[in-house]
Amino acid sequence: MNEKELFQSVNFESPFQSDNRNKANNDDELTIIGSSTVIEGKQDSKIICGGNIEIMGQVKGLVDVAGSAEIYGTIDGLVNAEQLTVEEGSKINGDINCRTTLSINGADIVGNIKAKNAYINASIKGNIEATNDLKIANSSVIEGNIATGSISIESGAVLAGNLLVKK
């Protein structure tokens, strides 16, 4: 069966001098991808957002956010964000790069995670690197290596991998 392409990424140069999608303080801009929305394209598809984003639907491809991202749906691809919250029932199949604070609550992640600070209450299959602080909740299951500056692990959490605490 031949699938029709629903979304195709294009390179876009903004004609506006003041347009700076790398500026993370754009709290006025919010992009919402609804729960019935599926964004799928070629292998190099991507969503680039200069402000903040909420994803409730499905995205296949790179998600690159200058501000904060809240995930309630499914992402198959790399996620880059200043601040990231992944909520219960969400799934990410791909790596996560968070420049500040990452919070994962009841989600399933298959991929490596990098963040400055992270709170994990989830199922993770992949390595975790939290440069400052990592908190792991009691219902977490982590299959992968952990490297962090500081860690707290609640009783009941399951870790299968190596742990390195760097000073």
pTM: 0.81
Give the single-character DSSP code of 67: S
* Confidence (pLDDT) at 97: 98
Q: Write the pLDDT tens digit of every residue in 24-60.
A: 445 568 888 888 888 887 667 788 888 999 999 999 9
Q: Write the pLDDT tens digit of every residue in 35-45.
A: 888 888 766 77
What number is the average pLDDT over the span 142-166?
96
| Exposed e or buried b per residue across 69-85, where buried means at least 16 C-beta atoms within 10 angstroms of its C-beta | bbbbbbbebbbbbbbbb
Q: Give the residue extent of every domain in the chain.
A: 30-165
Give the single-character DSSP code of 13: -
Q: Write the pLDDT tens digit of every residue in 84-116.
A: 999 999 999 999 999 999 999 999 999 999 999
